[in-house]
Amino acid sequence: MTELILQRPGTSETSWVPVCRLDDLEVCWGEAALVDGEQIALFRLPGDQLHAVGNIDPRTRAAVMARGIVGSRGTAPTIASPLHKEVYDLVTGACLSGGEGLRAYRVRCVGGVVEVGIAA
């Protein structure tokens, strides 16, 4: 089981929403999903590391982050917006140039199914 835990401040319970099968995600490529009414960008990195962030580019408000450029800064996995190339940390959602960040979601894989955590 692969699980990355990012807990939203002020929350203690998580509702897990199944989104897709792990095999549906290509390595180093993003996919968009609508989860609990929110657009989310899902990423599968080498070693089946899973990350989920908001799909809305904070700078342009376009739903494009799933089509961003996967990379890294040091050991931190990143996603660069396909529009203005702003770079975001895939773990925390923070914008590495100091601008508005992306919302980061908890994500895990259980029995080959990728689930995204939504605060209950």
Per-residue pLDDT tens digits for 17-72: 999 999 999 999 999 999 999 999 999 999 999 999 999 999 999 999 999 999 99
Domain ranges of the chain: 2-119
Sign of CA dihedral 112, 14, 81, 75: negative
Global confidence as pTM: 0.86
Give me the CATH topology for the region 2-119. Answer: Rieske Iron-sulfur Protein (2.102.10)
- The yes-or-no verdict on residue 2 having pLDDT over 60 is no
Alpha helices in 1-120 (DSSP H): none
- Listed in sequence order, the residues at least 6 apart from 24 whose beta carbon sits closer than 8 Å to its beta carbon are 31, 114
pLDDT band at 10 (very low <50, low <70, confident <90, very high): very low
pLDDT score of 13? 82
* Mean pLDDT score of the chain: 90
Beta bridge partners of 85: none
